[in-house]
Amino acid sequence: MNKTTLGIIGGGQLGSLLASAARKIGIRTIIFCNDIDAPGQKFSDNFILGEYNNEKKINEFVEKVDLVTFEFENIPYTTLKIIDKIKKVLPSPEINQIIQNRLKEKNFINNLDIKTTSYVKIKSIEDLKSNSKLIPGILKTCTLGYDGKGQFKINSIKDIDLLTIDYKKEYIFEKLVDLKKEISVIITRFGPNSYEIYEPIENIHENQILKSSKIPAKINNEIIDVSKKWAKLISEELKYIGTLCVEYFIDKNENLYVNEIAPRVHNSGHLTINSHNISQFENHIRAVCNLEKRKTIKLFNAKMINLIGNDILEYRNKKISNNEFFYDYLKKDVKKNRKMGHITKLFTL
Ligand code: ADP
Ligand code: MG
């Protein structure tokens, strides 16, 4: 039988880790990316360089693959639609259209009777001033934000006048949640009511960037159950195929809110490579390539630490202990706030 060839759009660390997982189970990968230095090309079988709106390059990519998935949600919807007409794109492009936009995403979640923080659409400085009940809050661009980019903290009315933003863009203003904890739930949906779901992961952010993740999360049983239930409901409602992550806030009164949905594998799930028999990446590949669903079992407790910017330099020469696993994303340049690698430590159950 011929090997399946999976196309992956995006060649960052998530694309790299997807390609490595695919290789492990005999799936070929071709990465399509607009970055000539994309680290993913070191892990995939083939690489095509091109802008995400370059139809010639898109066609060259599509011809070579059996189906397509992606490592990040901000790919132009039209690109995904062009591809989907020729080869299947999973998860489906329509899902991205909702999740690419923070406003549509939060409306979708609230329509399922799932709680989020209070929010409002912002089109002008007047809109902001008339929503002072949401202060302290965070103003976010509706599209194209990640790792805290495109976010502005507003602690008082005075801060609004100091903003130098382009109101022609779409924004959402969210009430700040008085955080006790952040958790995420990663789920892989294979089809109607067919899932593998990982236990909630506890996450620590620094400067709005994920710093570390661990299992088990120290949270009560009700939050464990509800966070998993909501992740199932969201993926079922989206008719999602593949791995998806739901990010949650827990406030000081133990209220649970969905922060956002990532329609892809997620940084907080990197620990599953070592803590489980099947990682979030392998489960994603299995689901999109229509392979057999295997029972996912936890083997170890774990903590994952992101190596951001210069953090990586120390680890490149460090002796790693037996219960530690070091991943270098092999990015060309070390940059401040750039995720360069991660380390996972395992603990017995
Ligand atoms: P990104 O797309 O950059 O991940 P998020 O909306 O998840 O954007 O914000 C990044 C981080 O910023 C969150 O994980 C959280 O730590 C903090 N944050 C964002 N929005 C809020 C909020 N409404 N209340 C409290 N903290 C927030
Ligand atoms: Mg986030």
Please name which ligand lies nearest the alpha carbon of 105: 1
Scan for tokens 């490579």, then name that residue. 273
Domain assignment present for residue 81? The answer is yes
Same domain, yes or no, for 231 and 299?
yes
Domain assignment present for residue 102? The answer is no
Specify the ligand 1 atom closest to the Cα of 137.
23
Please name which ligand lies nearest the alpha carbon of 208: 1
Same domain, yes or no, for 154 and 122?
yes
243, 336 contact by CB (below 8 A): no
Per-residue burial over 119-132, b = 16 or more CB atoms within 10 Å of its CB, e = otherwise: bbebeeeeebeebe
Domain assignment present for residue 113? The answer is no
Residue 25: give the domain boundaries.
Answer: 5-89
User: Ligand 2 centre from 18 Cα, in Å?
Assistant: 20
Output the six-digit token pair for 130.
């008339």
Specify the ligand 1 atom closest to the Cα of 176.
24
User: Which of 259, 266, 267, when mutated, tests ligand 1's pocket best, judged by the most ligand atoms within 8 Å of its CB?
Assistant: 259
Same domain, yes or no, for 201 and 338?
yes
H or E, element range at 175: strand 171-175
Domain assignment present for residue 328? The answer is yes
Q: Ligand 1 site: residues with CB under 6 angstroms?
A: 117, 138, 145-148, 174, 176-177, 179, 182, 205, 208, 247, 259-260
DSSP string, 176-227: PP-EEEEEEEEEEEEETTEEEEPPPEEEEEETTEEEEEEES----HHHHHHH
- The domain tally of the chain equals 3
Task: Kindly give the confidence (pLDDT) of every residue in the chain, 349 residues in length, as a single tens digit, with 9 standing for 90 and above.
Answer: 578 999 999 999 999 999 999 999 999 999 999 999 999 999 999 999 999 999 999 999 999 999 999 999 889 999 999 999 999 999 999 999 999 999 999 999 999 999 999 999 999 999 999 999 999 999 999 998 887 788 999 999 999 999 999 999 999 999 999 999 999 999 999 999 999 999 999 999 998 899 999 999 999 999 999 999 999 999 999 999 999 999 999 999 999 999 999 999 999 999 999 999 999 999 999 999 999 999 999 999 999 999 999 999 999 999 999 999 999 999 999 999 999 999 999 999 9
Is pTM beyond 0.75? Reply is: yes
113 dihedral zone (left: phi>0; alpha: psi -120 to 50; beta): left
CATH at residue 68: 3.40.50.20
Q: Whose alpha carbon is nearest atom 8 of ligand 1?
A: 148
Domain assignment present for residue 68? The answer is yes
User: Ligand 2 centre from 116 Cα, in Å?
Assistant: 13
pLDDT value for 147: 79
User: Ligand 2 centre from 260 Cα, in Å?
Assistant: 6
Same domain, yes or no, for 244 and 300?
yes
pLDDT value for 150: 86
Domain assignment present for residue 110? The answer is no
User: Ligand 2 centre from 124 Cα, in Å?
Assistant: 25
Same domain, yes or no, for 237 and 270?
yes
Same domain, yes or no, for 42 and 168?
no
Domain assignment present for residue 104? The answer is no
Same domain, yes or no, for 322 and 188?
yes
Domain assignment present for residue 191? The answer is yes
CATH at residue 146: 3.30.1490.20
Same domain, yes or no, for 202 and 276?
yes
Specify the ligand 1 atom closest to the Cα of 147.
3
CATH at residue 311: 3.30.470.20
Same domain, yes or no, for 190 and 335?
yes
Of 89, 105, 127, which one is at a domain's C-terminal end? 89
Scan for tokens 């360069």, then name that residue. 340
pLDDT value for 145: 81
Q: How far apart are CA 274 and CA 271, in angstroms?
A: 6
Q: Whose alpha carbon is nearest atom 9 of ligand 1?
A: 148
61, 32 contact by CB (below 8 A): yes
Same domain, yes or no, for 245 and 289?
yes
Same domain, yes or no, for 317 and 214?
yes
Same domain, yes or no, for 129 and 145?
yes
pLDDT value for 146: 82
User: Ligand 2 centre from 337 Cα, in Å?
Assistant: 15
192: cis peptide before it, omega within 30°? no
